[in-house]
Amino acid sequence: MILADSFCQNAKARMSEFSTTVNDSPLIAQFAANTTNDFVDASQLVYPYVDGVDLNCGCPQKWAMKDGYGCALLSNMQTIYDLVKGIKNCLPNDFSVSVKIRILKELKRTIDLCQQLEKCGLTFMTVHGRTPQQKSSDNIDTDALHQVCQSVKIPLIANGGIKSLSDADNLYDTLKCNGVMAASALLTNPALFSGANVTPLSCVKLWMNMKDKEYTNISFQCYHHHLVFMLEKVLTKQQKIVFNHLNSFEAVDDYLISNLLNDYEGPTEFEYSLEEFISCQYPDEITLKHASKCRGCGKSAYYCVCKKYDCNATDGTYFTSYVKDIESCDYTGFNIFDETG
């Protein structure tokens, strides 16, 4: 899920959040957005490189809900309609537009919502089988998902509770849906749909190689973060304690080679070449419209007035309340890590 406003505003966000290869198709870019301008402009930026865009209306995280993203949109059908229509009016008809939602507590409301979304002109929709209030450990409601599948004519992708390829097969057979999406389980095992029960070392090796290729723009935080997930079922408890505290590319690679890959003789590449990453180019006429905006107040980011700069403050908050240059700040700090930002 890419924050559409950050993607439009900040070159670092664009470099960190999106990369692709010449053979990466079909490809859908999923955005979190709550204004038509942000969603349309972000979609236009990635249009040359993707087959469609998806609007996330299913994220239940507190920061997303507070900022009007994800599940917060489920109570505002007009906003969803405007966002979808914005894409339909600006981009070609063969460009895919989809929405991901969660089921609601009342089944009738869920069905009504899906039927309204269908009338917006969606290419397909994805429905998560838990309500926004439920935890990821709760079982999905397959009965509700089945009834939703029967209520719409456009392709429907089911989501939730997928931890293995057999889980995906079983859900597909139960619902007779058009496809199955996995999310968190793919972080733990990116090769899940191949039938592998844990992350293959060939996948780890590919990720190691990928960070060194031009145009991938993988930060250390991203590199290490994904490896922590991928190695969850590979490393021992003691190994995890050591690995999770490594703080450089070199330290991580040395650890992986010494503890996992030293005697590895399996495949190190997948079918496509890592040399084929694209150098994405984004038109200035779109990015410059957003570059000087402060997300909090909508005014110039060169002097943000959302929080007054106070040089006498003693709690340290003034260090993050005064923005001189939007490109020099860490865009992720606005929403993901600092809910008060």
Query: CATH number, domain at 18?
Result: 3.20.20.70
Is residue 188, in this structure, part of any structural domain at all? yes
Q: Does residue 301 carry a pLDDT above 70?
A: no
Per the structure, the count of domains in the chain is 1
> Any idea which residue has 């917060």 for tokens?
72
Is residue 167, in this structure, part of any structural domain at all? yes
Residues 341 and 333: their CA atoms lie apart, in Å, by 7
Q: Does residue 333 carry a pLDDT above 50?
A: no
- Told to judge if 59 belongs to the known catalytic residues of this protein, a careful annotator would answer yes
Is residue 40, in this structure, part of any structural domain at all? yes
Count of residues for the chain?
Answer: 341
pLDDT tens, position by position, 132-158: 999 988 999 999 999 999 999 999 999
Collapsed DSSP state (helix, strand, coil) of residue 17? helix
Is residue 39, in this structure, part of any structural domain at all? yes
Terminal alpha carbon distance of the chain: 19
Per-residue model confidence (pLDDT) at position 295: 55
pLDDT tens, position by position, 166-193: 999 999 999 999 999 999 999 999 999 9
Buried-state track 59-84, b at ≥16 Cβ within 10 A, e below 16: bbeebbeebebbbbbbeeeebbeebb
Q: Does residue 307 carry a pLDDT above 60?
A: no
Q: Does residue 313 carry a pLDDT above 50?
A: no
Is residue 292, in this structure, part of any structural domain at all? no
Residue range 2-20: average pLDDT?
A: 92
Q: By percentage, how much of the chain surpasses pLDDT 90?
A: 68
Residue range 299-325: average pLDDT?
A: 41
Per-residue model confidence (pLDDT) at position 215: 80
Residue range 203-212: average pLDDT?
A: 89
Select the more confidently predicted residue: 129 or 16.
Answer: 129
Residue range 249-256: average pLDDT?
A: 96
Q: Does residue 323 carry a pLDDT above 90?
A: no
Residue range 309-330: average pLDDT?
A: 42
Residue range 86-113: average pLDDT?
A: 96
Q: Which domain holds residue 42?
A: 2-194
If one counts every other C-beta atom within 10 angstroms of the C-beta of residue 104, the result is: 19
Per-residue model confidence (pLDDT) at position 202: 87
Per-residue model confidence (pLDDT) at position 149: 96
Per-residue model confidence (pLDDT) at position 274: 63
Is residue 298, in this structure, part of any structural domain at all? no
| Residue tagged active-site, from 59, 71, 114, 149 | 59
Residues 283 and 277: their CA atoms lie apart, in Å, by 19
Residue range 258-273: average pLDDT?
A: 64
Is residue 324, in this structure, part of any structural domain at all? no
Residues 296 and 335: their CA atoms lie apart, in Å, by 10
Residue range 36-51: average pLDDT?
A: 97
The whole-angstrom distance between residue 223's C-alpha and the CA centroid of its chain comes to 15
Alpha helices in the chain (DSSP H): 4-9, 11-17, 36-46, 62-66, 77-90, 107-119, 142-151, 165-175, 184-188, 201-210, 220-230, 237-243, 249-256, 284-291
Residue range 281-292: average pLDDT?
A: 89
Per-residue model confidence (pLDDT) at position 262: 83
The mean of the pLDDT values for the chain is: 85
Residue range 63-82: average pLDDT?
A: 94
Is residue 222, in this structure, part of any structural domain at all? no
Q: Does residue 298 carry a pLDDT above 90?
A: no
- What's at 330, amino acid-wise? D
